[in-house]
A and B are shown apart, each in its own frame.
Chain A
Amino acid sequence: MAWFPLATPTTLETQLNINDYIACTHCDALYRRSPLEPGQSAICRDCGAEVTWEGEGRHEVVLAMAISGLILFAVACSFPVLSIQVGSQIESSSLISTTLKLVQSGFWGLAASMVLFVILYPALTFIGATIVIAGLELLPPKRRPILAVTLRWVTTLMPWSMTGVYVIGIFVSLVKLAKMAEVIPGAALFALIALIPISLMLRTQLSRETLWRRLEDA
């Protein structure tokens, strides 16, 4: 803290209401809040980053998204992603079998990246989103702190969930193998593809701001 002065509020009224203000996480510029239309975002005048945005979402839509995300994710975990057929021999690969194969070959680092980034973190993100959104409707206000902890974890894990990247990896291998053998896409591949717009919608329907405000108001 030595290198920058924590000034006393001189430019601001000394008795400010913190909820009327918002700051840019990229450059620290402080703004007075003004109401946004659904789908609008506020861009920082100084650095051009997005300060906040207002989601278009209604609760039911988001809850439906989160639950379908969970179901699709369950499908993605239990069915093969790709199979190849050469003559009468068929080899299938699912998320779980891929991980086991890497463990068997002794590549623990690769197995860990599979488990964490493709299976565990995406799963926790969908489970967490469902808990938070369903909990806002169902739980009595006393229990809300559990939701705050969940939402905090969802926010932290979100950038580490890489199902979209995994799908690109599958596509590359699909094209690579297409010359060698017959490649059959499995149910899990379609589930993973369907998950991409769903997780995008989850992110755009409700902003972080809105969720936290609702948690706080309760």
Chain B
Amino acid sequence: MPDHPWPTRQTEPADQRRTAARCGLYICHVCGRLSAPADALRRRHGLACPRCRAALHPRKPESLHRTLALLVTAAVLYLPANLLPVMTISRFGQDEPTTILQGVQALIAAQLWLLAVVVFAASIVVPMLKISTLGYLIWSVRTGEKNRRRDRTRLYHIAESVGQWSMVDVFLVAVLVSLVDLDFLAVITPGHGATFFAAVVVLTMLATHAFDPRLIWDAAESSYHEQ
């Protein structure tokens, strides 16, 4: 994997940046080709990339609204995802429902520190950070924040790359449910918390996809044009 040395060079003042949009060019999100509207394919619903035929937009359409809608849904579902049990362990006729947080507690109690940290990071820290990061990014674009554009882009990049790792808990439940089905010893059944949790992960991933980080940069530049 190519590494990411983030160079520390200061960015140029907003008004001097040469961007694709200012030169009337669209970037294709699938294949990365640049197109001028004149050589793009014309479709009933707009332009398409001449190389890979994916839809072309100057910016992701309705990016802020779609991100916000997905994010709010994810935040609402985050409650049942954490309050409802993700699985129930039945041992010796006793049912023991477990939520995500109780799962981490059990790992701590068993002194499996590394696993406890992994599960805590993947299931609790990552979703919360993702929801708050995207929320902050939307807010910063809406208020036309001009500072720290580079840091905010980096923040987005992080949210984008940690996306799928929260699924660990969902897959853990899936494996345990299929494996632990020993009538005389223990039976593990899934709980609705797991379904909600999977929905939260998918929704936050969709929200990250819907957000267009170029809006962070536009905020500084379009105001320059308005002056």
A156 near B: Cβ within 8 Å?
Answer: yes
Total A-B residue contacts, Cβ distance less than 8 Å? 255
Contact B19 A91 (CB under 8 A): no
Fill in one digit per residue for B195-226: 1 if any A CB lies within 8 Å of its CB, else 0.
Answer: 10011001001000100011011100110010
**Known interface pairs A101-B177, A110-B173, A110-B195; A30-B164 also in contact (CB < 8 Å):** no
Contact B171 A84 (CB under 8 A): no
Fill in one digit per residue for A175-186: 1 if any B CB lies within 8 Å of its CB, else 0.
Answer: 111011100000
**Chain B min CB distance to A153 (Å):** 9
A93 near B: Cβ within 8 Å?
Answer: yes
**Chain B min CB distance to A172 (Å):** 5
Query: For residue B171, which residues in chain A have a CB less than 8 angstroms away from its CB?
Result: 114, 118, 162, 165-166, 168-170
Contact B21 A168 (CB under 8 A): no
Contact B58 A1 (CB under 8 A): yes
Contact A159 B163 (CB under 8 A): yes
Which chain B residue shows the least CB distance to A1? B58
**CA separation between A104 and B76, bound complex, in Å?**
28
Contact A8 B24 (CB under 8 A): yes
A68 near B: Cβ within 8 Å?
Answer: no
**Chain B min CB distance to A169 (Å):** 3
Range, interface on chain A: 35 or more
Contact B180 A152 (CB under 8 A): no
**Known interface pairs A86-B185, A101-B178, A113-B167; A18-B25 also in contact (CB < 8 Å):** yes
Which chain B residue shows the least CB distance to A3? B222
Contact B52 A22 (CB under 8 A): no
Contact B156 A26 (CB under 8 A): yes
| B interface residues, tally (CB under 8 Å) | 87
A interface residues with partner B (beta carbon < 8 Å)? 1, 3-9, 11-12, 16, 18, 21-23, 25-30, 39-41, 43, 45-50, 52-53, 81-84, 86, 89, 91-93, 97-98, 101-102, 105, 107, 109-110, 113-114, 117-118, 148-149, 151-152, 155-156, 159-160, 162, 165-166, 168-170, 172-173, 175-177, 179-181, 200, 203-204, 208-209, 212, 215-216
B interface residues with partner A (beta carbon < 8 Å)? 1-2, 4-7, 9, 11-12, 17-25, 27, 29-37, 39, 51-54, 58-59, 107, 110, 112, 115, 118-119, 122, 149-150, 153-154, 156-157, 163-165, 167-182, 184-186, 189-190, 194-195, 198-199, 202, 205, 209, 213-214, 216-218, 221-222, 225
Q: What 9 A-B pairs come out closest when comparing CB atoms?
A: A169-B171, A23-B20, A93-B178, A98-B178, A109-B195, A47-B153, A28-B19, A41-B2, A48-B6
Known: A29-B17, A46-B149, A52-B32. 17 other contacts (CB 8 A): A8-B24, A18-B33, A18-B35, A18-B36, A22-B32, A25-B27, A39-B2, A49-B154, A50-B4, A101-B181, A110-B174, A110-B194, A152-B31, A165-B171, A168-B171, A176-B107, A212-B33
